[in-house]
Amino acid sequence: MKIYLDKRGFDKKHVHDLLKEHPGLFTLTLDRDIDIAFCYANILRKENLQNLPNLKWVQLLSAGYDGADIDEMKKRKLVVTNAKGVFSITIAEDIVTKILVLNRAVKEYIRQMDKGEWLPHRYESEIFGSTIGFLGAGSIATEAAKRLKAFEAKLICYRHSPKKDPAFDEAYTGPEGLKHVLHVSDVIVIALPLTKDTANIISKDTISLMKKTAIIVNVGRGGLINQDDLIEALKSNRIKGAALDVATPEPLPSTSPLWHMDNVYITPHDSTSSPYKFDRLESLVLDNLYVYTANESLDNVIFDFRKA
């Protein structure tokens, strides 16, 4: 058994420890002989898969798998698992931060500090009593909802299935459910995977359903939002603001007007930043490796085309 380890997913210490503690098991070179890959979704593109004839299982080092060639994966009868849950706590805290940055005029106060200017702002918004609508109800949304419940906000979600979740006060599905969540929410948190069905889920039409005082927080993928429509809505004050961890393209060009808008807060696809994420990721992939070699049920299965 030969396992490709994409070192971009770990810090140097964890890469060193994995290679030292499991001699001969891992390789940092992507070659034709690998049976397993611990990597990102770009390996699941057709041109890559065709060069990996022995590949049987891909353990993603991220939650998302946009860009994967599902037809080729099905043809190859691959097993694909993801890193769902590894980053949820960190991203949940980041979501709370982003809401507070926009609600509490944080950018403006920092600018005033630079100028030594004592100027109170009297009308910052509260999370208390607000309605926070999540697009997506996976582990990230659930962890964020747990934390926001302490603020005594109403927590609702739009999800693919009608399954109830104790983390949310209400759950909605289908086109009408999406419209309702967008219409009543003070904060829209986007935590969906990017698929053909979710691409541009936020556009001019859906923005028109939102409150003018609403803010958008996107920790999913840039392609979930029509960025030109978002820029226009922010320029015209059609919505209050946006906090973005993702963009289209990435890196976001320095010429984008989003960088210079007072009602926008941007982080560089770094909501997962934490010294603890590498330990969590290592634990997940090694646990999954153990159950895979024991022919037991894997955690976080996205696709198992052996059963298709």
**Residue 8 annotated to the active site:** no
What is the rounded distance in angstroms from the CA atom of residue 145 to the CA atom of residue 166? 10
Assess contact for 167 and 155: CB atoms under 8 A.
yes
Active site residue 143: no
**Side-chain half-sphere exposure of 198, counting CA atoms within 13 A:** 18
Catalytic residue among 250, 280, 282, 296: 250
Catalytic residue among 76, 143, 221, 282: 221
One of 104, 183, 269, 280 is an active-site residue; which one? 269
181: which 2 tokens?
Answer: 């969540």
Of 109, 85, 63, 107, the closest CA to residue 215 belongs to 107
d(CA 148, CA 98): 12
Cβ neighbors of 36 (< 8 A, separation 6 or more) are 1, 2, 3, 4, 55, 56, 57, 58, 59, 289, 292
SS3 37: strand
45 is catalytic: no
Contact 106, 100 (CB under 8 A): yes
**Strand order of the sheet with strand 301-304?**
26-27, 3-5, 36-39, 57-60, 79-81, 301-304
Which residues are known to be catalytic? 221, 250, 269
